[in-house]
């Protein structure tokens, strides 16, 4: 039991009617930006792990 193509089209049409094409476009753009930012942070986290850690023994006042 799965979702047939006809059911999927009906669901997509209902979503388009409810939210409108403008909101769906901005939602897709926001989601893409969030994924891009997440991947960028994951890459920088990996790079930070590869760098040696330099400890500072001075105490802050």
Structure confidence by residue, pLDDT tens digits, 33-42: 999 999 999 8
Does the residue 27 lie in any domain?
Answer: yes
Does the residue 53 lie in any domain?
Answer: no
Does the residue 32 lie in any domain?
Answer: yes
Does the residue 61 lie in any domain?
Answer: no
Task: Show the domain range for 33.
Answer: 20-46
Would you say 25 and 17 are in contact if contact means Cβ atoms under 8 Å apart? no
| 3 φ, ψ (degrees, to nearest 5) | -95, 125
Buried b (16+ CB within 10 A) or exposed e, 16-51: eeeeeeeeeeeeeeeeeeeeeeeeeeeeeeeeeeee
Residue 27: per-residue pLDDT: 87
Does the residue 15 lie in any domain?
Answer: no
Mean pLDDT score across all residues of the chain = 83
Does the residue 59 lie in any domain?
Answer: no
Number of folded domains that form the chain: 1
Note if the pTM is more than 0.75: no
């Amino acid at each position: 039991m799965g979702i047939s193509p006809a059911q999927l089209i009906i669901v997509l049409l209902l979503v388009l009617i409810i939210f409108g094409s403008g909101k769906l476009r901005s939602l897709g753009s926001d989601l893409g930006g969030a994924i891009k930012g997440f991947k960028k942070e994951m890459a920088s986290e990996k790079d930070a792990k590869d760098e040696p850690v330099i400890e500072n023994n001075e105490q802050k006042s």
